[in-house]
Structure 1
Amino acid sequence: MEENKPTAATKAKRKYNDANYERIPLDVRKGTKAEYKAAADRAGKSLNAYIQEAVEEKMKREKEQQD
């Protein structure tokens, strides 16, 4: 069986992502991901963008409440 070796392009993408992004694991109950994905699709966004926007909006509201 042949071993799948990453291409130069894949290595470059991984290196870039490692230098520029942080991962946040998010565990949700079964079925919740599908609900989130459907909401993101309705908003015309990726699931990642939808979740990021939701978190940023909540942070903004909480900051405004503190001020």
Structure 2
Amino acid sequence: MEKKKYASNTRAKNKWNAANYDRLYPYVKKGKKATYLAAAQATGKSLNEWIETTLDAAAQQANEE
């Protein structure tokens, strides 16, 4: 019985995530993740927040050129 409860919760979360988020799957060379994580921690952000902020800044700069 518990498995059905968990399965429905997972389906609901997946449905909500699909409706509210886009997924990106960036692959980086070995060792770069640690570099990016250190940069994120230095700014007090999560790795995801740091990546999103960095990409937003790069996109804005590219659009201004």
When the two structures are superposed, what TM-score results if normalisation uses the length of structure 1? 0.78
Q: When you count helix as a share of all residues, which structure comes out higher? A: 2
Q: Tell me the number of residue pairs that the alignment of Structure 1 and Structure 2 aligns.
A: 62
Equivalent residue, structure 2, for 1:56: 56
Q: Give the drift of 1:43.
A: 0.6
Tell me how far 1:5 sits from its aligned partner: 6.1
Unpaired segments of 5 or more residues in structure 1? none
RMSD: 1.7
Q: C-alpha separation between the residues in 1 aligned to 2:59 and 2:23?
A: 19
Compared with structure 1, are the counterparts of its residues 6 and 28 closer, same or farther at alpha carbon in structure 2 (3 Å cutoff)?
Answer: farther
Counterparts in 2 of 1:6 and 1:38: CA distance versus 1, 3 Å: farther
Q: Percent identity?
A: 42
Show structure 1 runs of 4+ deviating over 3 A.
none
Distance 1:39 1:19, change over 3 A: same
CA distance in 2, matches of 1:61, 1:34: 26
Structure 2: gaps of 5 or more residues: none
- TM-score, L = length of structure 2: 0.80
1:23 and 2:23 matched: yes
